[in-house]
């Protein structure tokens, strides 16, 4: 009896296998009919890549995909007219139906804008979780959104930081060149910090014809917080604060803090060409065209790496000692002012989108510039400087302090912090 049952089972298995093979070979649809009969699950419409806004008269095709639990092919039908020729808010219906007639419907609302805006490429729902947040709560909420990004090696035979910068900082009129961040010089991509630079690297720079190369600049210097080890990835390879920079100016900037060298209280001001200056003991002022870019990258770092590992902070008047590895950068009052004076540009928006295509996270302060003030306030809040006397148990010492109205602390020159008294 047992042998007979085993024989029947083998025969049934063979019959099923033959039916499946025949169905697949001749595309008879037998198995699809069986599975469709029991399929109760509707397809899922992929909305992650849908944008929240478009430019007036932008030539764009709305392509939406979907996934089904059974069917190999899933198609989304757009019900209504996807239109970018009229300003304002528009809504179309996205419908996906599988072969079992299970249907998904998504109401897609988008804005058509007259001028280029940093919000144009924000994926639908990307920032929904921070609605109505501000201050430290907003900073924490943004950290949760932008953390856990896809990391790439600093240097590799596969996709690495070099590859990302070659695309992110590409010259708008030349696919073979990059635009150097601090100098604005157009440099061939092949002049990428090479031992034997090609002849095309010889251009006019610094008042002479010379070999000019570019390398990778950390806007938040990797020594300030000590994330210098490329193998650690994370902040060291995060392209949201890495730029293509002409090598000489990159070396001049070094790990200097950012400072307005022309606000009346600076010494040792040196013109470094192309609108860049150094001043005081160890500070750097970039050219006007990138001041806001610098600010938004620095504030991004303070949000993305607001964690137990680095805990980066933006402060006023940090100690300029180049050997210190404290996780701070400044000056916050200048950075806040630069953010307003040099608003988000189209170039910056497109760069953010390129990096997002690799890392799958965004710089929120390019997408939504207003968030910076909602976390750190305005530059005026950090410009109250005075000399006070502090009397420890034994020694009386004088400190230059800054009152941070937004964080409710005194920030002293030695990085000590005193909580605001009530």
Contacts of 339 (CB under 8 A, 6+ apart): 292, 295, 296, 299, 365, 369, 372
Strand 313-314 to 328-329 pairing = parallel
- Helix 346-359 with 291-304: angle, nearest 10 deg: 30
Q: What is the DSSP string of 163-225?
A: HHHHHHTEETTEEEEEE-TTT--EEETT-BS-SS--GGGEEEETTEEEE--EEEEESS-TTTT
Long-range contact set of residues 128-132: C-beta below 8 Å, sequence gap at least 24:
130/371
Closest CA to 300 of 221, 225, 366: 366
Express each pLDDT in 33-63 by its tens digit.
555 556 778 889 998 888 888 989 999 899 8
Q: Residue 70: what pLDDT? A: 81
CB 257 within 8 A of CB 319: no
Distance between CA atoms of residues 242 and 239, nearest Å: 5
Q: What six digits make up the tokens of 188?
A: 């061939």
Contacts of 72 (CB under 8 A, 6+ apart): none
379 burial (CB, 10 Å; 0-12 / 13-18 / 19+) is buried
Strand 270-271 to 277-279 pairing = antiparallel
CB 140 within 8 A of CB 305: no
Q: What is the DSSP string of 1-53?
A: -HHHHHHHHHHHHHHHHHHHHHHHHHT--HHHHHHHHH--PPPEE--TT-BSE
Q: What is the pLDDT along the chain (422 residues), one digit of tens a residue?
A: 666 666 776 776 777 677 667 766 776 665 555 555 567 788 899 988 888 889 899 998 998 999 888 877 788 999 999 999 999 999 999 999 888 888 899 999 999 988 877 788 899 999 999 999 999 999 999 999 999 999 999 999 999 999 999 999 999 999 999 999 999 999 999 999 888 899 989 999 999 999 999 999 999 999 999 898 888 789 999 999 999 999 999 999 999 999 999 988 899 999 999 999 999 999 999 999 999 999 999 999 999 999 888 999 999 989 888 888 999 999 999 999 999 999 999 999 999 999 999 999 999 999 999 999 999 999 888 875 443 444 444 333 333 444 443 444 444 444 333 333 33
Q: Residue 417: what pLDDT? A: 38
pTM given for the model: 0.78
Distance between CA atoms of residues 209 and 212, nearest Å: 9
Residue 96 phi, psi dihedral angles, 5° rounding: -125, 130
Q: Residue 128: what pLDDT? A: 94
Express each pLDDT in 240-284 by its tens digit.
999 999 999 999 999 999 999 998 889 999 999 999 999 999 999
Residue 73 has what DSSP assignment? -
Domains annotated for the chain, with CATH where assigned, are: 2-38 (no CATH), 44-113 (2.60.40.10), 128-381 (no CATH), 384-419 (no CATH)
What dihedral angle (degrees, nearest 10) is formed by the CA atoms of 226, 232, 234, 236?
50
312 burial (CB, 10 Å; 0-12 / 13-18 / 19+) is buried
What dihedral angle (degrees, nearest 10) is formed by the CA atoms of 260, 263, 267, 271?
60
């Amino acid at each position: 009896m047992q042998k007979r049952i085993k024989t029947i089972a083998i025969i049934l298995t063979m019959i099923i296998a033959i039916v499946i093979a025949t169905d697949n070979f001749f595309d008879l649809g037998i198995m699809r009919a069986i599975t469709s009969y029991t399929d109760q699950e509707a397809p899922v419409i992929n909305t992650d890549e849908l944008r929240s806004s478009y430019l007036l008269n932008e030539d764009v095709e709305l392509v939406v995909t979907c996934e089904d639990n059974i069917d190999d092919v899933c198609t989304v039908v757009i019900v209504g007219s996807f239109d970018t020729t009229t300003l304002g808010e528009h809504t179309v219906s996205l419908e996906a139906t599988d072969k079992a007639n299970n249907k998904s419907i998504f109401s897609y609302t988008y804005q058509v804008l007259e001028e280029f805006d940093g919000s144009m490429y924000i994926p639908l729902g990307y920032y929904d979780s921070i609605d109505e947040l501000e201050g430290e709560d907003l900073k924490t909420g943004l950290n949760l959104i932008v953390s856990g990004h896809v990391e790439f090696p600093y240097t590799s035979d596969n996709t690495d930081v070099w590859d990302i910068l070659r695309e992110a900082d590409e010259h708008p009129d030349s696919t073979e060149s990059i635009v150097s961040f601090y100098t604005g010089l157009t440099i061939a991509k092949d002049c990428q910090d090479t031992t034997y630079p090609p002849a095309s690297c010889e251009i006019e720079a610094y008042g002479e014809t010379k070999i000019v190369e570019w390398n990778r600049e950390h806007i938040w210097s990797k020594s300030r917080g000590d994330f210098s080890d490329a193998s650690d990835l994370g902040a060291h390879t995060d392209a949201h604060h890495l730029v293509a920079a002409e090598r000489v100016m990159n070396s001049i900037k070094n790990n200097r803090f950012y400072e307005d060298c022309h606000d009346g209280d600076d010494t040792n001001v040196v013109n470094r060409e192309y609108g860049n200056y150094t001043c005081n003991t160890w500070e750097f002022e970039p050219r006007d065209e990138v001041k806001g870019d610098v600010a938004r990258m620095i504030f991004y770092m303070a949000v993305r790496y607001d964690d137990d590992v680095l805990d980066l902070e933006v402060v006023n008047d940090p100690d300029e000692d180049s050997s210190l590895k404290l996780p701070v950068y400044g000056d916050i009052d200048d950075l806040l002012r630069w953010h307003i004076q040099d608003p988000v540009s189209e170039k910056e928006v497109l760069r953010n989108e390129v990096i997002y295509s690799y890392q799958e996270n965004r710089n929120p302060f390019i997408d939504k510039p207003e968030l910076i003030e909602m976390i750190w306030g305005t530059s005026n809040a950090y410009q109250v400087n005075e000399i006070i006397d502090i009397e420890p148990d034994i020694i009386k010492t004088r400190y230059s302090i800054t009152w941070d109205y937004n964080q409710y602390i005194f920030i002293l020159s030695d990085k000590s912090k005193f909580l605001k008294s009530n």
